[in-house]
Structure 1
Amino acid sequence: MGNLNQFLPFLLMFVVIYFFMIRPQQKKIKQEKEFDASLKVGDKIITKSGFHGKIVELTDSSAVMETMSGKLKIERSAISLELTAALNKKA
């Protein structure tokens, strides 16, 4: 019983860390992967640096987006899930 009382605070701390830090991060990574897989030509997007545009070409690791000033080649990971979702919800 004494050993259990010694390890109980560490066990509780691990459970709290898991539910408040590790699990939400895993959920966010899963959402970003699903978002990345669902991108298609013609989608309106916003990059993490704030560029607005429309996808005109997609490859495995990059995308070409058309902006008002021309075309830009960007990494797919540079497309913001939150900003793009907010843009498409507004439209």
Structure 2
Amino acid sequence: MLTKKVTIGLENGLQARPAALFVQNANLYQATLTLEKDGHMANVKSIMGVMSMAPARGEQLILTAEGKDERMALEALASFIENK
């Protein structure tokens, strides 16, 4: 299992369209992926889970990946959140 603290760099946070793209990217990987914010956990492969957290620009979250392709998934998704 790998974890990384990420800061939302997306201008509008992970709302609507960016959240949908984030979830689509997450579904390319076999690893189990979660986001944690203020003790609340969400499945990264669920649009409702991600949007329910309402991640805004500048907020910090914990991204966790566990499984066969965890390193690749964690790097790609962290990059998406931080640099897009």
TM-score normalised according to structure 2 size: 0.29
- Larger relative contact order (Cα-Cα within 8 Å, sequence gap ≥ 6): 2
Larger radius of gyration: 1
Structure holding more helix per residue = 1
TM-score normalised according to structure 1 size: 0.28
